[in-house]
Amino acid sequence: MTISMYAVSVPVFRRTLTALSGILKKGADFAAARKIEPAVLLSARLAPDMYPLTRQVQIVSDHAKSATARLAGVEVPSWADDETSFEQLQARIARTLDYIGGFTAAQIDGSETRSVSLPMRSGSLNFTGQDYLLGFVLPNLYFHCTTAYAILRHNGVEVGKRDFLGEPLH
């Protein structure tokens, strides 16, 4: 059976980003209700050597937009990582959703064997499109979304598994 690269990328990214947006809204509401400076939550991290909440969200966005572009064979857009508020993170998620929503299944399907090269400080990582999506992008997307969720949960925001999972794919 052939996998639809579109079906396991763009709709999954959309669901994950939408769920993350809901989690961030609960974080912002929590801070406002308890009169906590939002920067406290935005700069929170699970361990000293881990990225803070803001960077976790940026990375989720980056994986979604970059994977969509690479699988479609188009240039990856470069966005500044300068968000400092819940509102700016929500705008970044909305921008990412708009960007990935502009791609069709015809642009992504058939990318299973496309060569994907990721420049890294230590040298390039090279994949086929399917290995890139299933073995690199999705694990990273879920890791950073889970970490963002865990940062807020650890700080008392009332989020649960249902918030993380979001709405079912359509």
Model's pTM, two decimal places?
A: 0.95
**What's the confidence (pLDDT) of residue 43?**
98
Phi, psi for residue 111 in degrees, rounded to 5: -90, 5
**What's the confidence (pLDDT) of residue 170?**
62
Phi, psi for residue 118 in degrees, rounded to 5: -110, 120
Q: Please list the rounded mean pLDDT of every run of 10 residues in the chain (170 residues).
A: 89 97 98 98 97 98 98 96 98 98 97 93 94 98 98 97 85
Nearest-angstrom CA–CA distance, 107 and 16: 21
Identify how many contiguous H helices and E strands the chain contains and give both numbers: 8, 2
Classify residue 3 by its DSSP letter: -
DSSP letters spanning 34-56: TT--HHHHHT--SSTTSPPHHHH
Pick one of 1.20.1290.10, 1.20.120.450, 1.10.10.10, 3.30.70.260 as the CATH number of 10-165. 1.20.120.450
Any idea which residue has 């642009």 for tokens?
A: 107
Nearest-angstrom CA–CA distance, 59 and 3: 25
Domain boundaries, the chain: 10-165
